[in-house]
Amino acid sequence: MSMEAAIAAKPARLEGRTLLFFLTLLAALGMLATNMYLASFPSLGKDLAATPAQVKLTLTVFLLGFAAGQLVIGPLSDKLGRRALLLSGLALYALTSALIAAAVNIEWMLGLRVAQAVAACTGSVLARAVARDLFEGDELTRSLGFVTTMVAAAPGFSPLIGGLIEAFFGWRATFALLAIVGVLAAVIVWLRVPETHHARDTAPGIRQAFGSYFTLLARRDFIVPTLATTCAMAGLFAFFASAPGIFIERYGVPPVLFGLIPCVTVFAVFAGGFSAPRLAKKWPGYRPIVFGLVMMLIGSSAILALSIAGDPGMFAVLGVLLFFLFGMGVVNPLSTVFALRPFPEKAGAASALIGFFQMAGGAFGTMLLGLLPYPVLPGLPIVMAGGAILGLIVVLTGRKNS
């Protein structure tokens, strides 16, 4: 039986909302691997005899591996197709997650985290590329907006799951669960997701496909929204990296309850994400992105002011953090749509380059936070506000010159 006949004999392919939810899962694999184990930082360090700096490094090397891996996956998928690469990436994700669960020292874990990141980025890149393959116009805006918003909201729920697993089973069980998720996702792709990129025969060669990065970087309609989401992600990942230190160590929140904090605040991300398409219809051009960046700046500046004024209470910090998260919920999906929409023939490369910038921005934000000669408060809001200001400069300058 031919491959085409074998696929045709399998259950009907995913469509509609079911497809969108599955694309969300694929795109969220990286977020799950970065956030589910945050509550386990203290116990992981004790178990592997690692310093707090080494434990944070497991997050930083993941972000760097995630960023670099996308630059390879995107062009390859434009030439070779989405399905085979996706199956390979999910298999590697499951394997590396299982090996991390069995890690015996921090050096082993750091190396495996890089491999896990490359595997996870396959799902992220190809989820956006598949959406670009299948949707156009307003439908593309809605579908990508939904996927991006849900992925941005994943950090709100994954620490809660990770905190519960940490409390009852330990950090190794978290990575065992990620391995199971990888296996199940691979099975679903094999059974229900056909190839969506049908222009592979006329696509440029691999060398030309990688060369498309230079074409994209020269386009203002790509680089401006991409840099906007990069700046937003720098502040967001700085918050992820510092959250255990702020809430578990500074405010004494038990690890099992730590996950409730992002679970509550994530509704601000939902609100921003679901407001984004309406704002895009109401305001032309980059105005909705500018609005989101301003909200991010208001939230981060308020946290900075509270930190300078004295010892802020936990609920005061959480309250003003909602402004930042709402703004990020607007900026991230709209920037992604704006950057992908003009390039249907380069969807894989464009998706990869967006993801590279996002994760590189996240890695830079976490590293900058560690380099600042300040405590986490006010160090964190300085990074967050700096990202919002830089994003505003990029978008306002790009808008004037476009």
Spell out the residues 6+ positions from residue 350 whose beta carbon is closer than 8 angstroms to its own. Answer: 74, 132, 216, 222, 339, 340, 343
Which pLDDT score is estimated for 91?
Answer: 95
pLDDT beneath 70: ranges in the chain: 1-12, 14-15, 141, 152-153, 155-156, 198-206, 209, 400-402
Distance CA 180, CA 169 (A): 16
Q: Long-range contacts of range 198-204, CB-CB < 8 Å, 24 or more positions apart?
A: 199/345, 200/78, 200/79, 200/80, 200/81, 203/78, 203/79, 203/345, 204/78, 204/79
Taking each helix axis from N to C end, the angle separating 206-217 and 347-371, rounded to the nearest 10 degrees, works out to 60
Q: Reply yes or no on domain 3-401 having CATH 1.20.1250.20.
A: yes
């099975």: which residue's tokens? 187
Which alpha helices (H) appear in 83-170, and where do they start and end?
A: 83-101, 106-134, 137-168
- Chain segment 222-244, per-residue pLDDT in tens: 999 999 999 998 988 888 778 87
pLDDT of residue 23: 87
152 vs 167: CA distance, rounded Å:
25
* Six token digits for residue 329: 């919920």
User: Could you give the CA distance from residue 321 to residue 352 in angstroms, rounded to a whole number?
Assistant: 29
Return the residue matching tokens 């996927």.
147
Q: How far is CA 191 from CA 96, 125, 186, 227, 324, in A?
A: 23, 20, 9, 37, 40
End-to-end CA distance of the chain: 54
State residue 9's pLDDT score.
44
User: How high is the pLDDT of residue 113?
Assistant: 96
The predicted model scores a pTM of 0.74
- Cα–Cα distance between 81 and 74 in angstroms, integer? 10
The radius of gyration computed from the CA coordinates of the chain, to the nearest angstrom, equals: 20
375 backbone dihedrals φ, ψ, rounded to 5°? -65, 170
What is residue 7's predicted lDDT score, i.e. its pLDDT? 41
